[in-house]
Structure formats: C-alpha cells, structure tokens
C-alpha cells in the first residue's frame, strides 16, 4: 500500500515538489517506468486521481493471484470512460422532471456519470481535508472504513447519495478490471489470466464436449494480430 501511495503522489503532484521525481519513485513503479506506461489523466484532476487510484486498489487489491485495480490500469479505464461518451451520458435518458423515486425505479439523478464523479469526489476530498486527512495517505483499514461509509449511503456528497457514487465506482472498476485491454484497463489481460477466461478467442467447437478439460491458452484481446501484438484502437485514447 505504501508503494501505491508514493507512486500516486508522484504522478499527481511530483512536478510541484522540490524533491526530484526519480527519488520518489518506488522500485516497482520505476521498473515499469518505460515511456508511455504511466497513466495520463484526461478527466480526473490531480486530487481526484489520488483518491481514485487508492480507492480502486482497495476495491480490487493486488494479491498472490495477480495485480489489483492499479496494476491492471483500472483508474486509466475510468478516466477514459468518464472523459468520453459514457461520462457525457451516453444511453442515459436525461429529461426531467427529477424525483428520487423508489429503489426499484433505479438511477434518477440529473447528473451524467462525469458530473456525478466530479461532484462526489470534490465532496469526498473536502470532507477528508476538513479532518486533516488525505485518502491516499490513510492506512488500508481506515480507507476501507471510509469506503464502507460511502457504500452504506451514510454521506451526502453535495446532493449525491454516497451509495450511488460508490455503486458506480465499484461497477466501473469491475468493468475496467475485466474488459478488453483496448479500453485501457485489464493491462496485459492480467484479470483474464487470473480466472482463466480466454478473452476474444471464442472458438470452442472441438473443446466443448471434452468434459472438464482445463483449457490452457493465452487469452486473446480484440486488438491482437496473429502474432499476439496488441494494436490500440486509435479512437480510444488509452495508454497501455
């Protein structure tokens, strides 16, 4: 957790500090630090990114089975989705009048996902700052307690019930973890390797009736050519 905190800190505010950036880089981040591997945030501002990176890693932590949300690029996925059509309200009916409704009636706030994240994150960071805290510097257990308070709906985030924000953050983190790497998460198809999902491979006629066989094959991305190279889609500004 310490490594994540320091790395995130560098990514967000390194340029503004007097300490040389290289001295702050954790060994892990440094080893992976070839050009183009660090996330360039287009949607989150620096303070938002600090919270998102730390929070996602608590939702999906690294463990012996493989990387967590941070290692898989989930914050990058969130950034690109929220900065694009999905964030702007793609496929969301947006006419009023607005009423809270019953839980069975689903999402009824006027916010687009982009607006919802900005409003919620601003309120979260203001709340934490008022208590003299930075989320990314809190111990893991305290981070979990804070996330649980959001999940339970205990907080009002400038009009957004905290449970609504938490639910969207969790759902989108799972999306970023398991979606095709072309979207900027699931780096190196790590999440697919973890569970044994072959990705877009998708041809099992010969295997389907070999009952109980272990299907061991490198997963395949949508963007892969015949030699296993991943080619990025140019319309999705993700960095792998």
Partner 1 sequence: MVQRLKEVDVVVIGVGMVGSIVAKELAAAGYTVVGLERGPARFTVPQFQSPAVHDELRFSVRKALMQDSTRETVTFRNLDSQVALPIRRWESFLPGTGLGGSMVHWNGQTYRFQANDFKLATGTRERYGRNFLDPEVTIQDWGVTYDDLEPHYDRFEYLLGTSGKAGNIKSRIQAGGDPHESPRSREYPTPPQKELFQGALFRKAATSLGYHAFPQPSSNLSQPYTNPEGMKLNTCVFCGFCERHACEHYAKSAPQTIILPVLLANPNFELRTGCQVQRINLDSTKKRATGVTYIDAVGREYEQPASLVITSAFALNNVRMLLLSGIGAPYDPATGQGVVGRNYSYQTISSVAAFFDEDVVINPFMASGASGTVINDFAGDNFDHSGLGFIGGAYIGAVNPHGRPILYHPTPPGTPAWGKGWKQAVVKHYNHTVMLSIHGSSVTQRQNHLDLDPTYRDAWGQPLLRMTFDFPRNDLKMAVHVTAKAAEIGKAMGAKQVAANPRKGPYTITQYQSTHNTGGAVMGDSPKNSVVNRYLQSWDVPNVFVIGASAYPQNASWNPTGTLGALTYWAIDALTNKYLKNPGQLVPA
Look at residue 102 and give its three-state secondary structure.
coil
Report the nearest approach of partner 1 to the CB of residue 16 (Å). 32
Which CB, 6 or 201, lies closer to partner 1?
201
Which CB, 209 or 234, lies closer to partner 1?
209
Q: Could you tell me if 81 and 172 are in contact, meaning their C-beta atoms sit under 8 angstroms apart?
A: yes
Which CB, 45 or 197, lies closer to partner 1?
197
**Can you point out the beta strands (E) in the chain?**
156-157, 160-161
Report the nearest approach of partner 1 to the CB of residue 129 (Å). 25
Cα of 187 vs its chain's centroid, Å:
12
Q: How many CB atoms lie within 10 A of CB 54?
A: 25
Residue with the two structure tokens 């303070």 = 47
The contact set with partner 1 (CB under 8 A) reads 58-61, 63, 65, 68, 86, 89-95, 97, 99, 101-108, 144, 147, 151, 170, 174-175, 178-180, 183, 191-192, 194-200, 202-205, 207-209, 211-215, 222-224
Give the whole-angstrom CA distance, residue 182 versus residue 20: 33
Report the nearest approach of partner 1 to the CB of residue 222 (Å). 4
Which CB, 11 or 199, lies closer to partner 1?
199
Q: Could you tell me if 75 and 83 are in contact, meaning their C-beta atoms sit under 8 angstroms apart?
A: no
Which CB, 58 or 118, lies closer to partner 1?
58
- Beta-bridge partner residues of 161: 156
Which CB, 25 or 111, lies closer to partner 1?
111
Q: What is the biggest distance separating any 2 CA atoms in the chain, rounded to whole angstroms?
A: 63
Q: How many CB atoms lie within 10 A of CB 212?
A: 4
Report the nearest approach of partner 1 to the CB of residue 2 (Å). 17
Length, in residues, of the chain: 240
Report the nearest approach of partner 1 to the CB of residue 22 (Å). 32
Report the nearest approach of partner 1 to the CB of residue 65 (Å). 5
The encoded tokens of residue 33 equal: 């630090």
């Amino acid at each position: 957790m310490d490594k994540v905190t320091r790395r995130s800190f560098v990514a967000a505010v390194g340029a503004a500090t007097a300490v040389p950036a290289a001295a702050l880089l954790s060994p892990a981040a440094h080893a992976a630090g070839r050009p183009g591997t660090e996330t360039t945030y287009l949607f989150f501002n620096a303070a938002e990114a600090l919270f998102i990176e730390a929070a996602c890693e608590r939702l999906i932590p690294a463990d012996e089975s493989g990387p967590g949300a941070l290692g898989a690029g989930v914050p990058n996925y969130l950034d690109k989705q929220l900065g694009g059509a999905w964030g702007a309200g793609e496929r969301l009916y947006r006419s009023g009048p607005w009423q809270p409704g019953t839980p069975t009636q689903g999402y009824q706030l006027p916010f687009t996902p982009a607006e919802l994240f900005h409003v919620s994150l601003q309120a979260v960071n203001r709340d934490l700052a008022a208590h003299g805290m930075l989320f990314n510097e809190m111990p893991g257990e305290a981070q979990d307690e804070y996330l649980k308070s959001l999940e339970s709906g205990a907080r009002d985030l400038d009009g957004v019930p905290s449970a609504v924000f938490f639910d969207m953050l969790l759902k989108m983190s799972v999306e970023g973890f398991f979606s095709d790497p072309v979207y900027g998460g699931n780096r190196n198809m790590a999440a697919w390797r973890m569970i044994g999902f072959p990705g877009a491979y998708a041809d099992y006629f010969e295997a389907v009736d070999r009952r109980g066989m272990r299907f061991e094959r490198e997963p395949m991305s949508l963007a892969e050519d015949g030699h296993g190279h991943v080619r990025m889609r140019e319309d999705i500004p993700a960095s792998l």
